[in-house]
Amino acid sequence: MSDGEKPVAERYDPASIEPRWQAYWEKHETFRATRTPGKPKYYVLDMFPYPSGDGLHVGHPEGYTASDILARYKRMRGFDVLHPMGWDAFGLPAEKYAIKTGTHPRDTTKKNIATFKRQLKSLGFSYDWAREVNTTDANYVRWTQWIFLQLFKRGLAFQSEAPVNWCSALGTVLANEEVTDGKSDDGHPVVRLPLRQWMLRITEYADRLAADLDGLNWPDTKAKQLHWIGRSEGAEITFAIEGSSEVLSVFTTRCDTLPGATFLTVAPEHPLVKKLTVATHNAEVDAYVRSALAKTDMDRTDLSREKTGVFLGSYAINPINGDRVPVWVGDYVIGTYGTGAVMGVPAHDERDHAFAKTYSLPIVAVVASETGEAINVADAAFTDDGVAHGVRGSIAIADGTKSAEARKLIVQHLERIGRGNVRVTYRLRDWIFSRQRYWGEPMPIYFPVDCDGDPRRSESQFTIRFNEPIAVDESELPLRLPDLDDFSPGEDPAGALARATDWRFFQREGKWFARETNTMPQWAGSCWYYLRFIDPKNDAAAWSQELYDAWMPVDLYVGGSEHAVLHLLYARFWHKVLFDIGVVKHNEPFTKLVHQGMILGEDGQKMSKSRGNVINPDHIVKSHGADSLRAYEMFMGPLEAVKPWQTSGIEGVKRFLDRVWNVSTGALTDACDDGTKKLLHKTIQKVTHDIETMHFNTAISQMMVLTKHLGTLDAAPRQAVRTLALLLSPFAPHLGEELWSRLGFAQSLAYETWPTFDPALVKDDTVEIGVQVNGKLRGTVTLAIDADEATAKAASLEDPKVLSFVEGKTLKKLVYVKGKIVNFIVG
RNA sequence: GCGAAGGUGGCGGAAUUGGCAGACGCGCCAGAUUCAGGUUCUGGUGGUGGAAACACUGUGCGGGUUCAAGUCCCGCCCUUCGCACCA
């Protein structure tokens, strides 16, 4: 290496620099979040991870680096920054592992968190670790349960029977995605079983959840949520049933097509199916309904399937024209949407058309094309709006009106005769909130028990009065999970906790009670963690109002788009409930939202263990350093884009940091030439702008340009090197700190003032612009920025090439846009 | 089917308001350093033709507007991601 005579320049060695600065930050509590009166605040939040056994993958640091850049930048801009991290630690993998190995999920979780924390720390994120929260901590669970009780007390948490996929062999409820043809993925039979479930009445907030999206600085996630909420304006129409006192209501957005209804179809789960079935059709209908209900939602909604149904034998009366139409049951009708029944208008609805074709039901057109074109509804439905025609009877006045007008007239008429009304319906369903699982928050609810003797004894008979739920007193929270040896849900759909009889049953004033044995879903903890971060140690309340005022709302929220609907909708819902209770003051929690794009493997495929294309951040930190990993992930492309990993790419970024190191630790000078100064100020401007707009890739590219220029100088201006260290520090914080300290500063640069640029210096006084002849580029010319046309023309014609294309031709027109272009139009 | 985003070199990607397409990085080529390999440094690098000067051509496809189009307008094609019988 060294020949012993010449001192060899010290090389950039992230492996020694990075741990040193991490220790420094920790020792000095550099990133402790505190509020100073008069200073602006900035709350930048990452979606906290589920600490899986696999540890961090390179996708995690992408979003975390982006948010960390903003956090570090805002500190240097004089903001009080709240940048916390924690663990969404309840969930299935730890429980599955527990069932397999007998290890308590608590131990697995603890171990995984330690790994995640070590990895995150090795990447130099500026979190205030004193605020770390863990959704499985009793101190956190306590407040999750407290919020649940608030929902319960307001009637927003209620019980209901909902059909679920129950697999007794696995002892668990399965998600629809895990069931095919009535079997689990490993072939065990699955039955559709109505189970008592806890539901949250999110539908009550549907309107506000849709309307309040308006004010948010969110990407197209807003559109996704709107679609998910699915607000739909239409009418509810009531049909009388021939020879019965029952009536059948349907929901439709096209009540203008009511005159063309030729049948009604109800969902198999519709409560009136039995009553509307005439005796001779009983057997057939029963068989159909039973087979339909056994299907999973996935199978039911398979679009490629032919529509099926069975005639119930009864007839309904069309309220508008007295037509007698048959009532069918069909599983293409969704039981939980609208009224669970539809009117069949085959001429103007594709689904009804398909159904009518299959069962040879009449197709009657009642909407004509507005242009007067002939419409053949025998082959396909005409679903566009048009002009009503063939409207008979009491509201014949609607005949000939446009569809929108006809809708109005018809619904008004229905209202008058008491057969219908305007109605708004939502796709959004109430949220099934219970899981038959061990590793989740216990519900703070118990029920009275009827029994003689001790219900904990296996031979005793008891009845739990589920319809009389009682809230656990807030002073008794948290309600902790019992310890178990076996974490599997077991054969009892009540779940694993049902076996913890000593925990489940208790006596009060001589009476027996039973605790709820369902637990909350994993979403519960993540619904409000951003609020706990503002006051994580509070024992008296979930958070204090002072700290709420100090930090909320979240200014920037960074996380994956896979949470675009569920997590982000659930959290907004809880926030609105908390708003109604008066414990939060904003109607929305997350002002600005950004989704980082997925990082694919080098083969362009999604990273997965089975493909063997997973990049482990630990290895990259070891081989190239954390700063290189951070900077490379930001350099790959736009934050939101999906982009493939390229190992050669990170080497390029490492070379860049090497050059920054060489230039900054080499010969320096106090002088600074004008060209360098100009480039420096342009770099400050661009990097600042690009951080604000989160265009990190172009910010880095600009710093590369500056660094390359500094490398061409005999000695780099001290002022430029100093500024570069500051500009680079949000991206490569360890290197930034190291250079800063080598430049002679004793303190961390974390709170150093962000560099500003001189507007006079970033403005060029001369520019090189293109010279075109007839729109084709023929040369370039350097001009003063405000040169007049005559000067521009003369200078352009000095270029022999330009001249040769212009010479001997008539100049028809000269286009000159200052600072942009010269264009000779010749003929 | 519906909704959204997007198609730019061999690759990842740049391109405020229409104004020199391809910044920056990777890769590749040549040169310098080196015993050599690697490292580092310098220069080159969209395509076609040409020894070269240079010319033509070029941002998914086809039209259009304009002095000028990756960018604006119309009509297609393709890709990715959501949602998917919601009446």
Q: Is the pLDDT of residue A2 over 60?
A: no
Please report which confidence band the pLDDT of residue A7 belongs to, taking 50, 70 and 90 as the band edges: very low
Q: Is the dihedral of CA A47, A53, A54, A56 positive or negative?
A: positive
The spacing between the Cα labelled CA in A228 and the C1' in B83, in angstroms, equals: 8
Tokens of A40: 């602006």
Gap between the Cα atoms of A97 and A462, Å rounded: 33
pLDDT tens digits along A605-648: 888 888 888 999 999 999 999 999 999 999 999 999 999 999 99
DSSP A721: H
Region A671-683: mean pLDDT is 93
Q: For B20, which residue's CA is nearest its C1'?
A: A770
What is the mean pLDDT of the segment spanning A771-775? 90
- As a rounded value in angstroms, the CA-to-C1' distance for A427 and B80 is 26
For A94, the enclosing helix (H) or strand (E) is helix A92-101
Buried b (16+ CB within 10 A) or exposed e, A541-566: ebbeeebbebbbbbbbbbbbbebbee
Q: Which of A341, A342, A519 is nearest to A439 (CA)?
A: A519
Choose among A624, A629, A634: nearest CA to A699.
A634
The counts of H helices and E strands in chain A are 27, 34
What token pair was written down for A158? 């209620």
User: Which nt is closest to the CA of A813, judged by C1'?
Assistant: B67
Q: Which nucleotide is nearest to A252 (CA to C1')?
A: B87
Name the one residue in this structure whose structure tokens are 């500003």: A756
Tokens standing for A87?
């663990």
What's the CA–C1' distance between A814 and B17, in Å? 22
**pLDDT for the residue numbered A458:** 77
Measured distance CA(A393)–CA(A398) in Å, rounded: 10
Residue A166 · residue A173 · CB < 8 Å: yes
| Model confidence band, residue A108 (pLDDT cutoffs 50, 70, 90) | very high
Q: What sign has the CA pseudo-torsion A95, A100, A104, A107?
A: negative
In whole angstroms, B39 C1' to A681 CA is: 33
Using CA atoms, how far residue A698 sits from A626, A639, A702, A827, in Å, is: 20, 11, 6, 42
How far apart, in whole angstroms, are the C-alpha atoms of residue A704 and residue A590? 34
> Could you check whether the bond before residue A49 is cis, i.e. omega within 30 degrees of 0?
no
Q: What is the mean pLDDT of residues A35-41?
A: 95
Q: If you average pLDDT over residues A133-149, what whole number do you get? A: 98
pLDDT (0 to 100) of residue A169 = 73
Name the closest residue (CA) to the C1' of nucleotide B17: A820
pLDDT 10s digits, A206-228: 999 999 999 999 998 999 999 99
Q: CA A407 – C1' B64 distance (Å)?
A: 40
- Quickly tell me which residue has 């014609």 as its tokens: A797
Cα dihedral value A19, A734, A76, A708, nearest 10 = 180
3-state secondary structure of A227: helix
What is the CB neighbour count within 10 angstroms for residue A329?
A: 28
CA dihedral for A43, A44, A50, A54, sign (positive or negative): negative
Residue nearest to nucleotide B55 (CA to C1'): A778
State residue A177's pLDDT score. Answer: 57
CA–CA dist A353, A350 (Å, integer): 5
Query: Measured CA to C1', what is the nucleotide nearest A254?
Result: B87
Summarize the confidence of residues A511-529 as an average pLDDT. 94
In this complex, the nucleotide whose C1' atom is nearest to the CA atom of residue A780 is B20
State the Cα–Cα distance between residues A182 and A544, nearest whole angstrom: 50
Protein CA A247 to sugar C1' B73 (Å): 54
**Cβ–Cβ under 8 Å, residues A495 and A517:** yes
In chain A, pLDDT over 70 holds for what percent of residues? 95
Q: Is there a contact between A661 and A734 (Cβ–Cβ < 8 Å)? A: no
Using the predicted structure, report yes or no on whether residue A187 has a pLDDT greater than 80: no
For residue A800, what pLDDT is reported?
85
> Nearest nucleotide by C1' from A345 CA?
B87
Nearest nucleotide to the CA of A643, by C1', is B12
pLDDT at res. A179:
65
CB burial readout A717-755, b (16+ within 10 A) else e = bbbbbbbbbbbbbbbbbbbbbbbbbeeeeeebbbebebb
For the CA of A675 and the C1' of B25, the distance in angstroms is: 24
Query: For the ranges A483-487, A639-643, A771-775, which has the lowest average pLDDT?
Result: A483-487
Q: Is A137 exposed, middle or buried (0-12, 13-18, 19+ CB in 10 A)?
A: middle
Distance from C-alpha of A752 to C-alpha of A756, rounded to nearest angstrom: 12
The answer to whether A560 and A596 have CB atoms below 8 angstroms apart is yes
Spatial separation of the C-alpha atoms in residues A323 and A523, rounded to whole Å: 50
DSSP secondary structure code for residue A217 in this structure: B
| Predicted pLDDT at A3 | 35
Per-residue pLDDT tens over the stretch A529-554: 999 999 999 999 999 999 999 999 99
- Say yes or no to pLDDT of A592 above 90: yes
Q: Which nucleotide is nearest to A228 (CA to C1')?
A: B83
Alpha carbon A481 to its chain's center: 30
* Distance of A774 CA from B64 C1′ (whole Å): 19
pLDDT number for residue A546: 96
CA-based end-to-end distance of chain A:
69
**Nearest residue (Cα to C1') for B12?**
A636
- Closest alpha carbon to C1' of B18, residue: A820
Question: Which of A39-48, A366-375, A447-456, A558-567: highest mean pLDDT?
Answer: A39-48
HSE toward the beta carbon, residue A560, CA cutoff 13 A: 14
Q: Are A132 and A147 in contact (CB under 8 A)?
A: no
Q: In whole angstroms, how large is the CA radius of gyration of chain A?
A: 34
Q: Report the mean per-residue pLDDT for chain A.
A: 91
**Separation of A213 CA and B6 C1' (Å):** 25
- Nucleotide B80, nearest residue via CA and C1': A642
Specify the nucleotide whose C1' lies closest to residue A648 (CA).
B26
Give the residue nearest to nucleotide B13 (CA to C1').
A637
Nucleotide nearest to A257 (CA to C1'): B87
Q: How do residues A81-104 score in pLDDT, each as one tens digit?
A: 999 999 999 988 888 888 888 889
According to the model, what pLDDT value does residue A50 have?
94
Q: Which residue is nearest to nucleotide B42 (CA to C1')?
A: A712
Interatomic CA–C1' length for residue A776 and nucleotide B48, angstroms: 18
Of A282-291, A723-732, A803-812, the least confident: A803-812
Tell me the mean pLDDT in the region A465-490: 91
Residue A300 confidence (pLDDT): 76
Q: Is pLDDT at A801 greater than 60 in this prediction? A: yes
Give A136 CA → B52 C1' in Å: 75
The listed range with the strongest mean pLDDT (A211-215, A700-704, A794-798) is A700-704
Residue A356 CA, nucleotide B2 C1', distance (Å) = 23
Q: Which helix (H) or strand (E) holds A661?
A: helix A647-665
Q: Decide the pairing of beta strands A766-773 and A821-826.
A: parallel
**Residues, chain A:** 827
Q: In Å, what is the separation between the CA of A809 and the C1' of B54?
A: 21
Shortest-distance nucleotide from A707 CA to C1': B24
Nucleotide nearest to A597 (CA to C1'): B81
Strand B nucleotides, any atom under 7 Å from protein beta carbons: they are: 3-5, 11-15, 19-21, 23-27, 39-42, 54-57, 67-69, 80-87
- Residue among A8, A431, A393, A395 nearest A205 (CA): A431
d(CA A820, C1' B41) / Å: 35
Q: For A169-193, what is the mean pLDDT?
A: 69
At residue A702, what are phi and psi to the nearest 5 degrees? -65, -40
Dihedral of alpha carbons A651, A657, A663, A665, sign: negative
For residue A486, what pLDDT is reported?
A: 83
Cα A349 from Cα A254, distance rounded (Å): 9
DSSP per position, A432-479: E--BS-SSSPBPSEEEEEEESS-TTSTT--EEE-TTS-EEPPGGG---
Say whether pLDDT at A340 is over 60.
yes
Amino acid (one-letter) located at A317: I
Buried b / exposed e across A220-232, counting CB within 10 Å, b at 16+? Answer: ebbebbbebbebe
Would you call the peptide bond into A61 cis, given omega within 30 degrees of 0 as the criterion?
A: no
CA–C1' span, A674 to B66, in Å?
40
pLDDT for position A191:
76
Average pLDDT value for residue range A286-299: 83
A175/A666: higher pLDDT: A666
